Amino acid sequence: MPEIVELLTETFGHDCVLTHEEASMRVASNWRQNENLDCLALLRPGTTEDVSKMLQICNAYNQPVVPHGGLTNVVGGVVTKPNEIALSLERMNAVEEINVLNKTVTVQAGVVLQTLQKMVAEKGFLFPLDLGAKGSCMIGGNIASNAGGLQALRYGVMRNLVLGMEVVLADGTIISSMNKMLKNNAGYDLKQLFIGSEGTLGIITKAILKIEDKPESKHTAFIAVDCFEKANQLLQFSKKYLKNNLTSFELLWQDYYSLMTSPPSIYAPPLPQNYPFYILMEMLGQDAEKDQALFEELLEKSFEDGLIADAVIARSQQELNWLWGIRENVEFIFSVHHPVFLFDVSLAIADMNEYIEKIKSALQKVWADVLFYAFGHMGDGNLHLYVSCGNADINIRHHVEEIVYKPLQQIGGSITGEHGIGLEKKRWLHLSRTAEEIQLMKTLKNALDPKGILNPGKLL
């Protein structure tokens, strides 16, 4: 057993330190279920003080450490090498306080998102971050990746939901900035350094998050439109008509909708499959009767104005699950196609359709039988793309990435909207950040982690 693993085991005990052999019984990530975790050891701290002492030891030994949350990262952000130590926040999973007056919740980093949602709902509140991996992803990872999700149009991304944070730096220093106030202008807002830093600057151990009043009504419709321009017009009209109650506005291109509503998919099509675009729109409100009338009025006016070609409203929980299942069951793509490259890009709404048509055409010129699916959060400019061209060769992947990413530089888009950079996208970071920005990122990394032990090789 390596000396550092022996020292960590002596200091924290066998329950907190799993050996290489013990750790190898676990999967590498939720996206790599066929691969086992391969690391020097797996640390499982129970407190912030444990994290601090563990990092002190690792820093003294120049030992690389890879932070682990729910392992739902899709860009290689939790990939761990045999010579690296994994540090999981799974045991730090307490919801410490739900403050009714302040509308805040204090959580440890290992709390699973869905668990938090349920706990605050029982108190009459909503934690609005919502994404497909909510049953596995952890709050620390959500913060480290600045997660977005299905309700960002109304509530913003994770960055907008964090008030305070506790972080442990590479040398074990505990930075406690557990602020509960909406406004605090006392110097640098240090928590912002760590939101979206992907575990490269510090390990998040605790956070204070904003919560909202639990909605009393939910109204959802699946809509077909004849063209992208009408989808955008409907979005702008819905923002004005529903105001802040418009919560989700998801756009599906025809190919994705057809795939998700055809056998062997379990979902039947709620609308005919011959429309070019489909929209899943949802509003949350506090007055069920008034909200229903407003929602149906919006749809009627949109029909009259020719914005909507067809629509269906969810009238039960079963129908609601059906409509959202079509949008969210993305794992289905991997069951019918292999290999599949997935992308997460962000761009101005006005550029979306032209961008999709451009890259689809470019892909088809190289691979005539390429399969291409597009959908995403139209309301906040974030799209998800899935490409299958029948080959997983690294050079093929690079060519696909080049086709998808390079046009974004010309239109001021981003190579990632919510998934982060990790290992997979760092070679393309220069397309979304200037040389000066990247150099400043490196300066911050060197200042906070001079030995480079935290999640080495990721992001930068």
DSSP per-residue letters across 313-336: E--SHHHHHHHHHHHH-THHHHHH
Whether the per-residue pLDDT at 434 is higher than 80: the answer is: yes
pLDDT at 363 over 80: yes
Domain map (residue ranges) of the chain:
3-91, 95-213, 217-329, 340-443
Smallest CA-to-CA distance from 423 within 132, 73, 177, 122 is with 73
**Which CA distances in Å does 334 have to 96, 192, 306, 323, 337?**
38, 35, 36, 20, 5
In whole angstroms, give the CA distance from residue 57 to residue 17. Answer: 13
Average pLDDT over residues 129-148: 95
Q: With 80 as the cut, is the pLDDT of residue 110 above it? A: yes
The Cα–Cα gap between 323 and 316 comes to 11
Nearest to residue 278, comparing CAs of 239, 326, 320, 244?
326
Predicted structure pTM score: 0.94
What is the reported pLDDT for 391? 87
Taking 90 as the threshold, does the pLDDT of residue 33 lie above it? no
CATH number of 340-443: 3.30.70.2740
- Asked if domains 217-329 and 340-443 share a fold, the reply is yes
Q: Residues of the chain with pLDDT > 90: what percent?
A: 94
Q: Which residue has the tokens 């709620």?
A: 270
pLDDT in tens, 277-310: 999 999 999 998 899 999 999 999 999 999 999 9
CATH no. of 95-213: 3.30.465.10
For residue 438, report the phi and psi dihedrals to the nearest 5 degrees.
-65, -40
Q: Are 72 and 30 in contact (CB under 8 A)?
A: yes
Q: What is the pLDDT of residue 70?
A: 94
Backbone angles phi, psi at 9, to 5 degrees: -65, -45
Between CA 408 and CA 415 the distance in angstroms is 7
Fold of 3-91: 3.30.43
pLDDT at 182 over 80: yes
Structure confidence at residue 77 (pLDDT): 94
DSSP tag of 351:
G
Pick the CATH number of 217-329 from 3.50.50.60, 3.40.50.300, 1.10.3720.10, 3.30.70.2190: 3.30.70.2190
